[in-house]
Chain A
């Protein structure tokens, strides 16, 4: 493998002895990858692209944006109307956030289906969850920057979550706001942090990939394989080409949003400048936060709702220890296979309920959905680990194919 890589040129050798970048590059090219990876495994590459795209478009948008309550909304319109290609850069950035979340949800559910969070990959999973939580914080703060009605009220509602904390809640919220309500100090600090967090995410992505390269990729049949062996292929060119193809297909969808319906995922109220005197009659967060919003609203108690909201996120971090089954891939788990799709359905239903008003039947369904979400992680998964009769695992990736 790349550990004993020796550059061919004399200069390369001289340099590599001092900073082994060429060894790193060789490692990345030769990195042995299971040969049976399907297209659900291409989303890591797609996500890396999304992060880089957000950073680059964000960098240039920040050259034209003004973080001030009197100017922010106007500067967004200035970007849309006056700045050369400003509309394109902003639409890539705003739709890019949605695309980023679309890809991350597929990536997470892929890990759930194939048991990629299990030993020896728990740390990869935990870092991934930290990235996901940071992504939500970053997206939320970015949504505040245009200072439209939805921006302002999203900021108000989300920061008010902290007032639910007993005793210190009010002081924490005042500290977050830098005042007695969401106002200019809030906007400027959100801008600062919105600029900074992506680099924190980038750092975690590097750790995520590093942690991945220690045990190597999981694969659709979820067995640990010898690397390198006849069950693996080098990352380059086999995986790079496959990832690139998947990225191109993904970009078609991305461009579809950017060029044909750039505002379909947004909310028209955000084209009204922020007004602290009037709350829009129906406020909803961006689509990617809706399931959690539904969980928050399904509890009639303020503190209880906030606790459940955060619990629904942090429960995911503990997943490697909640799922007791030794078998990774759902292919060999006849019951989990169904439970997995039930969870997907549950999250989609919660998302829909999050977009509907919190009353009557909607509220009832949201409550059932919330209960099932916690039931899945806290009861079904731990119990299933001991009662489920799993199917026999093949000895290697080639095994079932060659026998067949």
Chain B
């Protein structure tokens, strides 16, 4: 005859094994129901956009839609560039050099989305001559860096490249 202690151990093992398999099975069944909400193939397929920038005058900007989000393409004036480059990094909430945020200093390409709660900031507004978000009052400078207000970080720079002098490919 077996000792009762061993019997219990065997039973405990069976219980634990059954619960574990059961939990894994339920998890595996739930996953498709959760994952169906993630971006689907048709959404992912629209990942790049090409933009013709030959018509943009200095000091002007255009807004294009990429992945459903506005992207600001701003041709900065000399003054705006020097303003962006001359800022002391210690003054910044999210320190980034202007040089690291652009590929050509004349062109600033960034997601036109306030990093606070996703509104579209207004251009040439605010205390730093850059952008101002009307929703909750964040001020950005001419490099799109957060200077004042509730936004935690600078406006995001998307992945982009210059295909030629007049064309930018975003994504």
Within 8 A of A (CB), among B55-99: 63, 65, 67-70
A residues touching B (Cβ–Cβ < 8 Å)? 153, 156-157, 159-161, 163, 174-183, 185, 189, 276-283, 297, 299-303, 305, 357-359
Q: Are B119 and A178 in contact (CB under 8 A)?
A: no
Output the nearest chain B residue to A159 by Cβ-Cβ distance. B118
* A302-B39 contact in complex given A161-B117, A180-B68, A358-B137, C-beta closer than 8 Å: no
Interface string of B29-53 (1 = CB under 8 A from A): 0000010011110010000000000
Task: Please list the residues of chain B having a beta carbon within 8 angstroms of any beta carbon in chain A.
Answer: 34, 37-40, 43, 63, 65, 67-70, 115-122, 133-137, 149-152
List 23 A–B pairs whose Cβ atoms lie within 8 Å, in order of A's numbering: A160-B116, A160-B117, A163-B117, A174-B39, A175-B37, A175-B38, A178-B38, A179-B43, A181-B67, A182-B68, A276-B70, A277-B63, A278-B120, A279-B133, A297-B150, A299-B150, A301-B152, A302-B116, A302-B150, A302-B151, A303-B152, A305-B150, A359-B137
Please name the residue on chain B nearest to A176 by beta carbon. B37
Measured between beta carbons, the chain B residues less than 8 angstroms from A281 are 122, 134
Determine chain B's interface SS by DSSP, over half rule: loop
How close is B36's CB to chain A, nearest CB, in angstroms?
9
Asked if A180 and B69 sit within 8 Å, CB to CB, the answer is yes
Give the Cβ gap from B32 to chain A, nearest Cβ, in Å.
14
Establish whether residues B67 and A301, one from each chain, have CB atoms under 8 Å apart when the complex forms. Answer: no
Residue of A157, A276, A305 touching B135 (CB-CB under 8 A): A157
Nearest chain A CB to B51's CB is how many angstroms away?
14
Q: Is the CB of A277 within 8 A of B150?
A: no
Say yes or no: B37 contacts A178, CB within 8 Å: yes
- In the complex, the answer to whether A179 meets B150 with C-beta atoms within 8 Å is no
Q: Once the chains bind, are A157 and B70 in contact (CB under 8 Å)?
A: no
Q: Which of B70, B116, B118, B134 contacts A277 (CB 8 A)?
A: B70
Which of A175, A181, A281, A297 gathers most chain B CB within 10 Å? A181
Shortest distance between the CB of B105 and any CB in chain A (Å): 26
Could you say which residues of chain A place their CB within 8 Å of the CB of B152?
301-303
Given contacts A178-B40, A178-B43, contact A156 B65 (CB under 8 A): no
State A299–B152 Cα separation when bound (angstroms): 12
Known: A156-B118, A180-B43, A299-B150. 14 other contacts (CB 8 A): A160-B116, A175-B38, A181-B68, A183-B68, A276-B68, A276-B69, A277-B63, A277-B70, A282-B134, A283-B135, A300-B149, A301-B150, A301-B152, A302-B117
| B37–A189 CB distance below 8 A | yes
**Residue of B40, B69, B70, B117 contacting most chain A CB atoms (<10 Å):** B117
Q: B65 and A276: CB pair below 8 A?
A: yes
Chain A CB within 10 Å — which of B34, B63, B152 has the most? B152
Contacts of A358 in B (CB 8 A): 136-137
Inter-chain CA distance A29–B70, complex, in Å, is: 60
Min CB gap A34→B, angstroms: 46
Q: Bound complex: CA of A77 vs CA of B171, how far in Å? A: 37
CA distance in complex: A180, B67 (Å) = 6
Inside 8 A of A301's CB, which chain B residues have their CB?
Answer: 150, 152
A-B interface, 5 closest residue pairs, ranked by CB to CB distance from nearest: A181-B68, A160-B118, A180-B67, A160-B117, A279-B119
Closest partner residue, chain A, to B64 (CB atom):
A277
Closest to B47 in A: A180
**Please, which residues of chain A bring their CB within 8 A of the CB of B65?**
276-277
Q: Shortest distance in angstroms between B134's beta carbon and chain A's nearest beta carbon?
A: 5
In the complex, which residues of chain A have a beta carbon less than 8 angstroms from the beta carbon of B151?
A: 302
Distance in angstroms between the alpha carbons of A159 and B119 in the assembled complex: 12
B145 CB → nearest A CB, Å? 16
CA A28 – CA B66 in complex, angstroms? 59
Known: A174-B39, A278-B120, A299-B150. A179 touches B67 (CB 8 A): yes
In the complex, what distance in Å separates the CA atom of A181 from the CA atom of B113?
10
